[in-house]
C-alpha cells in the first residue's frame, strides 16, 4: 500500500475524532506510520466535524489537512443534504462510505460520480441495536475497513481494547463486526 488518506465527516458527539484515532491506532499497531488529525474549532454537540487520517509505510512529514482523500467517511446521513463538501477532492477510484438507509445507487445519484466506489451501511440502526445509542463511530470504522481492506478486523479490535474503557470494548467490537459484515459496496 502506498499513501492512503481518509477524511471523516460527522457531527459533534458522534465520535468522529475517536474514529480517526482508532484507525490510526490500528494502523500503527499493524506496523504502519499513521496520523490522526482532528480539526480544532469551537465545536459543540451537533455541529459538523471533520477529522483526517494519513497511513503510509514511510514516515509522514505533512502537517496539513488532507485535500485529496482516498476515502471519505460520512457518519451522519443528514450531511447528505449538502454533498459538495463531502465529495470535495475525493480521488477518482476512491471510496465514499456513508451511514445511510439508502442504497449505494441512490447515494451515487446524489454525488453524480461514476468514478468512485460507494459503500453504504445503516450504522445508526446497528448502533441503536447494539449500543442502545446512536454513536456510530466504531461502526463506521468497520465499514471503512470492509470497503477498503486497508486494515484487518483484528487490528481494529486491538485498537478498541487499547482506547476504550473495558465495559465498552465488547459491544463496540461486536458493532464493528456487524458493520463490516453488512456494508454494501458498489
Partner 1 sequence: MGKVLPLGGNYAVAYAVKACKPEVITAYPISPQTTIVERLSEFVANGELDAEFLHVESEHSALSVAIGAAAAGARSYSATCSQGLALMNELLYIMAYVRLPMALTIVARALSAPINIWNDHSDFMSVNDSGWIMMMSSSNQEAYDEILLAYRIAEDPRVLLPVITAMDGYIQSHVVEPVEIVDDEEALSFAPKRRSWVTLNPDKPVTMGPVGDPNWYFEFKRQLWEAMKGSRAVFDEAVAEFAKKFGRSYSAIETYRLDDAEVAIVGMGSFMGTIKAYVDRARKDGIKVGALRVKLFRPFPAEDVAKALSNVKLVGVMDRALVPGSPTGGFLHSDVACSIKQAGLDVRTLGYIAGLGGRLLTMDNVRQMVDVLLKYKDSKEVPKEPIFIGVRE
Phi-psi region of 145 (alpha: psi -120 to 50; beta: other; left: phi over 0): alpha
Residues 143 and 179: beta-carbon distance below 8 Å: yes
Distance in Å, CB of 59 to partner 1, minimum: 8
- Judged by beta carbon, residue 59 or residue 114, the one nearer partner 1 is 59
List the x/- string, 158-177, binding to partner 1 by CB under 8 A: ----x---------------
In whole angstroms, what is the distance from residue 85 CA to residue 74 CA?
Answer: 11
Q: Which of 37, 80, 90, 151 binds partner 1 (CB under 8 A)?
A: 37
- Judged by beta carbon, residue 102 or residue 161, the one nearer partner 1 is 161
**105 contacts partner 1 (rule: CB under 8 A):** no
Instruction: Give the burial class of 165: count Cβ atoms within 10 A of its Cβ; 0-12 exposed, 13-18 middle, 19 or more buried.
Output: exposed
**40 contacts partner 1 (rule: CB under 8 A):** yes
**29 contacts partner 1 (rule: CB under 8 A):** yes
**65 contacts partner 1 (rule: CB under 8 A):** yes
**33 contacts partner 1 (rule: CB under 8 A):** yes
**126 contacts partner 1 (rule: CB under 8 A):** no
- Judged by beta carbon, residue 64 or residue 92, the one nearer partner 1 is 64
Phi-psi region of 114 (alpha: psi -120 to 50; beta: other; left: phi over 0): alpha
**58 contacts partner 1 (rule: CB under 8 A):** no
- Judged by beta carbon, residue 63 or residue 167, the one nearer partner 1 is 63
Residues 29 and 59: beta-carbon distance below 8 Å: no
Q: Which of 12, 13, 28, 48 binds partner 1 (CB under 8 A)?
A: 28
Q: How many CA atoms lie within 13 A of 58 on its CB side?
A: 5
Contacts to partner 1 by CB under 8 A: 20-21, 24-25, 28-29, 33-38, 40, 60-65, 67, 162
Amino acid at each position: 500500500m502506498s499513501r492512503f488518506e481518509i477524511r471523516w465527516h460527522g457531527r459533534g458527539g458522534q465520535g468522529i475524532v475517536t474514529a480517526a484515532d482508532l484507525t490510526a491506532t490500528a494502523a500503527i499497531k499493524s506496523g504502519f506510520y499513521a496520523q490522526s488529525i482532528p480539526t480544532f474549532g469551537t465545536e459543540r454537540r451537533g455541529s459538523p466535524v471533520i477529522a483526517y487520517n494519513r497511513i503510509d509505510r514511510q514516515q509522514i512529514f505533512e502537517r496539513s489537512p488532507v485535500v485529496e482523500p482516498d476515502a471519505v467517511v460520512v457518519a451522519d446521513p443528514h450531511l447528505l443534504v449538502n454533498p459538495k463538501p463531502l465529495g470535495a477532492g475525493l480521488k477518482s477510484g476512491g471510496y465514499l462510505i456513508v451511514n445511510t438507509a439508502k442504497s449505494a445507487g441512490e447515494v451515487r445519484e446524489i454525488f453524480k460520480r461514476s468514478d468512485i466506489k460507494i459503500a453504504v451501511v445503516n450504522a445508526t440502526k446497528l448502533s441503536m441495536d447494539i449500543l442502545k445509542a446512536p454513536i456510530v463511530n466504531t461502526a463506521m470504522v468497520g465499514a471503512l475497513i470492509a470497503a477498503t481492506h486497508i486494515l484487518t478486523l483484528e487490528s481494529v479490535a486491538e485498537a478498541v481494547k487499547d482506547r476504550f474503557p473495558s465495559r465498552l470494548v465488547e459491544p463496540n467490537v461486536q458493532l464493528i463486526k456487524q458493520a463490516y459484515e453488512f456494508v454494501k459496496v458498489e
